[in-house]
Amino acid sequence: MKILIKNGQVIDPANNIDGICDILVEGAKISRVAKNIKADADNVIEARGKIVMPGIVDMHVHLREPGREDKETIATGTKAALKGGVTSLLAMPNTAPAMDCPENIRLLKNIIQRSGQANVFIAGAITKGRLGKELTDIASLKKEGVVAISDDGASVENAELMRQALLKAKDEGVLVISHCEDKSLSNSGVVNLGIISTRLGLRGMPAEAEYKRVERDIRLAEETKSRLHIAHVSTKESVQLIAAAKKKGINITAEVTPHHFSLVEEAVLGFDANMKMNPPLRSKSDTEALKECLKSGIIDAIASDHAPHTENEKEIEFQRAEFGTIGLETELAASITELVKTGLLGWIDLVKKLCLNPARILGIDKGTLDAGCGADIIIVSPDKEWIVTKEQFVSKSKNSAFLGKQLSGIVEYTICAGKIVYTNSL
């Protein structure tokens, strides 16, 4: 099978390409990227006026299977990913059972092999049961193929345990991803601590709960000379600490979510539980700091933190509702709307944050349009506008923070491993 993509604006920061080109796909691989390719093909896609870029690599996704298939499954989650232009994703380990031993990793790999439609990489847990008491056997998890470890959804409270995790992960060449939250400071908060929390009478989660843990984990990474990735950064103090650490040469990277750079804490004023997430939506000054750090390169990657929940878990009192929003189907459009359309980032910078940098952080062979690489490609109409509705989602859950928002940019085609796996019918 051959696919020829003609006349698209090809964006590939790995090869410094930003111009009108053709791409020839043969079998599962990209065979050529060049101007005016003459070749017979089974399928010719005219991409004039559209962006052609690598498939997105989303390094922070909750697929819920095994254990909570009522929220999401590998099948529905990966289908949602392809609709959003995500061809590779990292599945977080907070499933039931947690991904904390080789047997559970093999169980998940079998499900992925049976029903996964995108490339799914696996994050193992740092501690058994994600309880923060005892380290997992990181070497055995690595042998089963995990590319990272994290207790995401929980922080490792014991500093000595986290230090040991960083040392063992360094020995095994596995990335450590840190959910930075000091529970003694977050104090069961449900929104950002400030005027809004006071006005609503809701318990607030202070910025210190995040940045004090960022500070600790950076110190541990420096002491152990280990690689550390900070997940879903939300405060200006956190990015200041990350900037200082990078300046010192500490091996640290960081991600931000579209909801944290697009929305501010005032979004919770209507008690909409879709706006309840951990970390919470922060102040305008925090959001502006996140954007500036995306522009400067202090923040390396954009990730969805896709967190599906059932209606019964969201359409209840705000205090009792689960944390999180789905994001696989909106992260590209939210990023185009908030970062490219506003002039903050150019396309090549956006593709770095969504594709190239996450792949490099995870050490996986994705995120580029290199000839000879797997053909994971998306074709995007950058100016097409749409209103986000529940009916559009193919994710099993509909708890989106962007419901009702007008976004720019829509995925027209997703090609994964050389096959057209999604086409927009709108």
* Active site residues per annotation: 305
Q: Cβ distance 395 to 309 under 8 Å?
A: no
Tokens 């989303």 -> residue: 58
Q: How far apart are CA 243 and CA 209, in angstroms?
A: 19
Q: Other CB atoms closer than 10 Å to residue 106's CB: what's the count?
A: 11
* 426: enclosing H helix or E strand: none
**C-alpha dihedral sign at 265, 271, 272, 274:** positive
Q: Other CB atoms closer than 10 Å to residue 27's CB: what's the count?
A: 13
Residue environment code for 185-200, b if the CB has 16+ CB neighbours within 10 A, otherwise e = bbeebbbbbbebbeeb
Q: Cβ distance 265 to 235 under 8 Å?
A: no
Q: Cβ distance 120 to 148 under 8 Å?
A: no
Q: List the structure tokens of 330.
A: 């909106």
Q: Can you say how many angstroms the Cα of residue 3 is from the centroid of all Cα atoms in its chain?
A: 28
Q: Cβ distance 156 to 132 under 8 Å?
A: yes
Residue type, 240: Q
Q: List the structure tokens of 57.
A: 């690599």
List, in sequence order, every residue forming a beta bridge with 280; answer none if it has no partner: none
- Torsion, CA 142, CA 144, CA 145, CA 151, rounded to 10: -60
Tokens 């903050």 -> residue: 344
Q: To 10 degrees, what angle do helices 284-296 and 236-248 make?
A: 30
Q: Which residues contact 343 (CB under 8 A, 6 or more apart)?
A: none
> How many CA atoms does the CB half-sphere of 227 hold within 13 Å?
18
Q: How far apart are CA 354 and CA 88, in angstroms?
A: 11
